[in-house]
Amino acid sequence: MKRTLLTFVIAVVLVLLIRTFAFTSCTIPSSGMENTLYRGDRVIVNKWSYGLRLPFTSVVGYHRWGAEAVRQGDIVLFNNPAPKHLSTPIDRREVFISRCIGAPGDTLMLNNEWVMTGDRVISPDDKFLYSYPGSQEELLQTAMQEAGIIDNSLLGYDEGDYVRSFSHYELYLLRQELQGLILFKPLQTDTTEGVHPFVIPSQGKLIRVYPWNVKLLCNTINCHEGRQATLRGNTLVIDGKAVNAYRFKKNYCWVASSNSINITDSRLFGLVPEDHLIGRVSLIWFSKEADRPWNEGYRWERIFSKL
C-alpha cells in the first residue's frame, strides 16, 4: 500500500513539474484560430520555446531562463495584456492563443482597423513621387507651410500636373491639412490612404511618435513600461514631458487571429509584451476535425523537430 501511494505521489509530482517547467496542454475555446486550430482542439505548448518563464511572477518578479525572441508565424500562448484590472498579476490572468505576425523590430503595414495589409513595408520617412494639378500649386504651398514641410522643391511635370516627392509622414500631414482638396497621384509603388507603417517595439529601440501610432504607444507605455503617459491631441506626454520618440524597455509582438469574425488579438488588446508569453503551440494531440489537412507548419515530423 505504501509503495502504491509513493508511486502515485511521485507520478503527481512529475506531472506537476512537467506542466510547470516544460509543457502544458490547452483546449482551444473558440473559433478565433480557424482554419488552423479549431474549437475543441487540444494542443501541447512548449514552455521552453522562448526560454522558461519562471513561475510565481507575482511573488518573485519576472525572470526567464534562456530567453529567445518570438518569431513571425509562431502560434503563441500568452496571458491577457489588457485585463479588467491591471493590478492582476501576469501569471494569474486569463490565457489566449494567437499567431504572431509582427516580431520585435518588425514593421507592419496596418490599416485603420489595425489589420495587416499586403502593401510593401515602408519607412514613414521614405520618399515617393506624387503628381497633383498644377492649378492647385498655391493651395499646396500654403498647406506645406502650415504643416511645417520645407525644402520640398518642384521636381517636374507629368502631363500638365506638377510632381513633388513626399514621405509617408509628410503626405499624411498634407492630407489632414487639405481635407481632400488636392488629389495626390502616386507615380511609384505606394500604400493606399489609411495604411501606415507600425514598428513593433524591441528592447532598447527608439520608436518615433506619429499621429497613427501615438495612441497605441501611449497605452503600451502606461500598461507595460511602468511610466505615466497621456495624450495632448497627437502629442505624447510621458511623466509630464512632451516627447517625439520613446526608447522601450521590453520586447513586444503583434498577434492576429485567423478568423476575422471572432478576434482575440492585438486589435483588441494591443501589443503583447515578452513577459506575457508562456510558450509556442508545438503539437495538436487531439482534434474533432478528422479530415482536416495537417498543414500550416504542423505536420507531425515538423512539430516534433521543434520540441
User: Which tops the pLDDT comparison, 240 or 157?
Assistant: 240
Mean pLDDT of the chain: 82
Whose cell is 504643416? That residue is 147
Confidence grade of residue 1 (pLDDT, cut at 50, 70, 90): low
Grid coordinates belonging to 256 = 492576429
Global pTM reads 0.79
Grid coordinates belonging to 52 = 522558461
DSSP 243: E
Mean pLDDT of 133-153: 91
CA dihedral 65, 276, 55, 14 (to 10 degrees): -90
Mean pLDDT of 172-181: 93
| CATH 2.10.109.10 is right for the domain spanning 23-104+253-307 | yes
User: Which tops the pLDDT comparison, 13 or 23?
Assistant: 23
pLDDT at 21 over 60: no
pLDDT value at position 301? 33
pLDDT value at position 289? 60
Confidence grade of residue 103 (pLDDT, cut at 50, 70, 90): very high
> Looking at the domain 127-186, which fold is it?
Alpha-Beta Plaits (3.30.70)
Confidence grade of residue 122 (pLDDT, cut at 50, 70, 90): confident
pLDDT at 227 over 70: yes
Q: Which of 35-49, 161-175, 293-307 has the lowest mean pLDDT?
A: 293-307
Confidence grade of residue 24 (pLDDT, cut at 50, 70, 90): confident
For the chain, the domains span 23-104+253-307, 127-186
Confidence grade of residue 295 (pLDDT, cut at 50, 70, 90): very low
Mean pLDDT of 200-204: 96
pLDDT value at position 304? 37
pLDDT value at position 293? 46
pLDDT value at position 54? 77
Strands (E), the chain: 23-27, 42-46, 52-53, 64-65, 75-79, 95-102, 107-110, 127-133, 156-158, 161-167, 185-186, 196-199, 206-208, 229-232, 235-238, 241-243, 245-247, 252-256, 272-273, 277-286
pLDDT tens, position by position, 26-59: 666 665 665 666 666 777 888 888 988 877 776 6
pLDDT value at position 33? 62
The percent of residues in the chain predicted with pLDDT above 70, rounded, is 76
pLDDT tens, position by position, 230-284: 999 889 999 999 999 999 999 999 999 876 566 778 998 999 999 999 999 887 7
For 289, residues 6+ apart whose C-beta sits below 8 A from its C-beta are 38, 41
